[in-house]
């Protein structure tokens, strides 16, 4: 099928006057009245377009959609009844008096087949489409996934990024959040209300977000097809959730810790300093992403006291979910040796490694991370 496009230029240049190009810094003057003799009337301006529409509505199909390659002469606009030049109002279009009415009925069956094909392809895409839910780390927010989100969406998948309590754009300050469940509540609310019972998600948790991932998997195991721990703390089902945090090496450099209290409720906030960000978290990430992190990080908390009092995660919930670990080879926050220990301790069987990635793989290796997640989703979800 050959699609022929007719282009019509509508003029607004005053009769008999060349166009005026205003200097780049000049403000355009208020135009004179449309009734001014210096400007053509509106009906004169749009008349070429009306003639063009009239021609298209009366021309025969053979003159518009040739069945074979036309000779060069057939491409002459005059052969289509278009007359170029003449008055200053640009292009005039006229229809041949012998042209038959344009009949669309011959295209009905082909259009139906085309729509049927499109619907079939859309159904196939929806069948293979995954829903990724990305959970950020402490002091960060949904903004941390901006390099990854569009990559997964471009591959045809749904992506949800969430701000946990007192994180990102969430309005609550950290001194109003005292329990780990309160902190994770936005994720729990999403899985409860926004994910239908018949659907599942690929849950991805980064760093401290691994504990939120574990709690959500324990409570909504039937809605999680696979839980992916990205350079994350991985709890087990034998000890309490604070067990892995207690054993982690803490070289926090200029990170600030401050207690906060409201009556019987107590907590400790954490705020990453610029030295910790640049030398431990973002040391291999682009400097623009490091500077973005310096601007957007907020005080958070590890909720150590609260987590130490929580019961261990269940085998029926968290333990029943397919779990995958992604190790970053140059991680300075959770070193590879400690990640291997957590993997062995938690009984995770599926492990992937991204070479040359620091703790913030979504910044240092976003494309490699995207490809890794797509492979995990296709294989395990």
115 is a domain residue:
no
- pLDDT computed for residue 250 by the predictor: 80
Q: What is the pLDDT of residue 126?
A: 62
Examine the domain organization and report whether 15 and 55 are in the same domain: yes
Q: Which among 212, 163, 141, 200 has a CA at the least distance from the CA of 362?
A: 141
Q: Answer yes or no: is 323 within a domain.
A: yes
Same domain? 157 vs 265: yes
| Cα–chain center distance at 14 | 47
Would you state the structure tokens that stand for residue 347, as one six-digit string? Answer: 């009984």
Q: Does 73 share its domain with 137?
A: no
Residue 207 and residue 160 share a domain: yes
Coil, strand or helix at 329:
coil
Helical pair 146-154 and 366-380, crossing angle rounded to 10 deg? 50
**Residue 251 domain flag:** yes
Distance CA 30, CA 19 (A): 16
If asked whether residues 46 and 156 sit together in one domain, one would say no
pLDDT at 370: 98
Give the pLDDT score at 191. 98
Domain assignment present for 107:
no
Of 84, 100, 116, which residue sits at a domain end? 100
pLDDT of residue 120: 54
DSSP 55-119: HHHHS-HHHHS-SSPPPGGGG-GGGGTEE--SSTT--EE---TTPPPP--GGGHHHHHHHHHHHH
What string of DSSP letters covers 268-317? EEEE--HHHIIIIISTTS-HHHHHHHHHH---EE--HHHHHTSPPPPTTT
Do residue 13 and residue 136 come from a single domain? no
Does residue 320 belong to any structural domain of this protein?
A: yes
The tokens for 299 are 């005080």
pLDDT in tens, the chain (381 residues): 545 454 544 444 444 444 433 333 333 333 333 334 444 444 454 455 445 445 444 554 444 444 444 443 333 333 333 333 333 333 333 333 333 343 444 444 554 554 455 455 555 556 689 999 999 999 999 999 999 999 999 999 999 999 999 999 999 999 999 999 999 999 999 999 999 999 999 999 999 999 999 999 999 999 999 999 999 999 999 999 999 999 998 889 999 999 999 999 999 999 999 999 999 999 999 999 999 999 999 999 999 999 999 999 999 999 999 999 999 999 999 999 999 999 999 999 999 999 999 999 999 999 999 999 999 999 999
Assess whether 93 and 162 both reside in one domain: no
Count other Cβ atoms within 10 Å, centred on residue 274.
14
Q: How far apart are the first and last CA of the chain?
A: 42
**239 token code pair:** 């000890």
Helix, strand, coil distribution of the chain in percent, nearest 5: 40, 15, 45
Judgement on whether residues 82 and 177 belong to the same structural domain of the protein: no
List, in order, residues 6 or more apart from 232 with CB less than 8 Å away.
205, 206, 207, 208, 209, 210, 213, 325, 334
- Is there a domain that residue 190 lies in? yes
3-state secondary structure of 163: coil
Q: Which of 263, 275, 283 is nearest to 332 (CA)?
A: 283
8 Å CB contact between 81 and 55: yes
Together in a domain, 268 and 142: yes
CA–CA separation, 282 and 361 (whole Å) = 9
Residue 54: its pLDDT value, please?
A: 52
CB atoms within 10 A of CB 158: 15
Question: Among 266, 215, 204, 269, which Cα is nearest to 242's?
Answer: 215
- Number of domain units in the chain: 2
| Maximum separation of any 2 CA atoms in the chain, in Å | 92
Asked if residues 346 and 234 have their Cβ atoms less than 8 Å apart, the reply is yes
Question: What is the model's pLDDT at position 39?
Answer: 41
**Could you give the residue numbers annotated as active site?**
207, 331, 359
Please report the sign of the dihedral spanned by the C-alpha atoms of residue 77, residue 80, residue 81, residue 82. Answer: negative
User: For residues 354, 356, 357 and 362, what is the CA-based torsion angle, rounded to 10 degrees?
Assistant: -80
Domain boundary among 82, 100, 118: 100
Pair (362, 296) in one structural domain? yes
Q: Is there a single domain that holds both residue 137 and residue 88? A: no
Parallel/antiparallel/unpaired status of strands 224-230 and 256-262: unpaired
Instruction: Indicate whether 119 belongs to any domain.
Output: no
Structural domain that includes position 91: 1-100
What CATH number does the domain containing 353 carry?
3.40.50.1820
Are 92 and 132 within one domain?
no
In a domain, 262, yes or no: yes
Joined together, the tokens standing for residue 157 give 């998948």
Sorted by sequence, the CB contacts under 8 Å of residue 327 that are 6+ apart come out as 231, 336, 339, 340, 351, 352, 353, 354
pLDDT at 121: 54
């Amino acid at each position: 099928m050959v699609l022929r496009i007719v282009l019509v230029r509508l003029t607004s240049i005053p009769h008999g006057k060349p166009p005026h190009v205003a200097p780049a810094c000049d403000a355009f003057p208020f135009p004179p009245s449309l009734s001014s003799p210096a400007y053509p009337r509106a009906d004169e301006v749009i008349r070429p377009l009306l003639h063009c529409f009239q021609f298209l509505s009366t021309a025969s199909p053979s003159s518009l959609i040739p069945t074979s390659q036309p000779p060069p002469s057939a491409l002459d606009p005059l052969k289509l009844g278009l007359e170029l030049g003449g008055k200053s109002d640009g292009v005039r279009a006229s229809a041949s008096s012998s042209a038959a009415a344009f009949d669309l009925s011959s295209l009905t069956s082909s259009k139906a087949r085309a729509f049927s094909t499109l619907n079939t392809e859309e159904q196939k895409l929806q069948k293979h489409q995954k829903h990724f839910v990305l959970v950020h780390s402490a002091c960060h927010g949904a903004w941390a996934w901006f390099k990854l989100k569009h990559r997964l969406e471009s591959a045809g998948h749904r992506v949800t990024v969430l701000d946990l309590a007192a994180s990102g754009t969430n309005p609550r300050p950290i001194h109003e959040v005292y329990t780990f469940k309160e902190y994770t509540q936005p994720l729990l609310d999403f899985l409860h209300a926004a994910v239908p019972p018949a659907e599942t998600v690929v849950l991805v948790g980064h760093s401290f977000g691994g504990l939120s991932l574990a709690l959500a998997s324990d409570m909504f195991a039937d809605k999680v097809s696979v839980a992916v721990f990205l350079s994350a703390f991985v709890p087990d089902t034998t000890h309490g959730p604070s067990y892995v945090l207690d054993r982690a090496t803490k070289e926090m450099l200029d990170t600030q810790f401050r207690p906060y209290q409201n009556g019987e409720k107590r907590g400790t906030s954490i705020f990453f300093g610029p030295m910790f960000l640049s030398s431990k978290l973002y040391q291999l990430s682009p400097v623009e992403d490091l500077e973005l992190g310096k601007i957007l990080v907020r005080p958070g908390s590890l909720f150590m006291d609260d987590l130490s009092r929580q019961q261990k995660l269940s085998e029926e919930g968290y333990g029943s979910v397919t779990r995958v670990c992604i190790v970053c080879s140059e991680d300075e926050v959770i070193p590879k040796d400690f990640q291997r220990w957590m993997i062995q301790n938690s009984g995770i069987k599926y492990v992937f490694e991204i070479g040359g990635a620091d703790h913030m793989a979504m910044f240092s290796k976003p494309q490699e991370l995207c490809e890794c997640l797509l492979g995990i989703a296709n294989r395990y979800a």
